[in-house]
Amino acid sequence: MEHTGSVKVPDGKLVTVTATYEDTIESVTITGDFFLEPPEALEKLERVIEGRPTDVPKQELVDAIETVDAELIGFSADHLAEAVREAIDR
């Protein structure tokens, strides 16, 4: 299956996650109008989410996202985890 989840961050930023999954999250694409330093970290963020079971707790996603050496500008690890959960909870 493939579904998309989005979170509108209070200051107006949008984080969108498209996830392909069955029992595990097979692939993830993160898009939106946020900034990320360094920009190359986007792929690393996607990779730390992939391979996890679809019943992964939100806090486990937050913890995994926070292991990536990146500055999330306009959104947080919590926002990204929320968008992932929305995508895979459909």
Classify residue 73 by burial, with Cβ atoms within 10 Å: 0-12, 13-18, 19+: exposed
The pLDDT mean for the chain works out to 96
For residues 19 and 67, what is the distance between their CA atoms, to the nearest angstrom?
A: 20
Mean pLDDT across 57-76? 97
Which band of pLDDT confidence, cut at 50, 70 and 90, is reported for residue 73?
A: very high
At a CB cut-off of 8 Å and minimum separation 6, what does 56 contact? 25
Query: Quick one: what percent of the chain has pLDDT higher than 90?
Result: 96
pLDDT of 46 > 90? The answer is yes
pLDDT attached to residue 90? 75
Cis link prior to 38 (omega < 30° from 0)? yes
pLDDT of 12 > 80? The answer is no
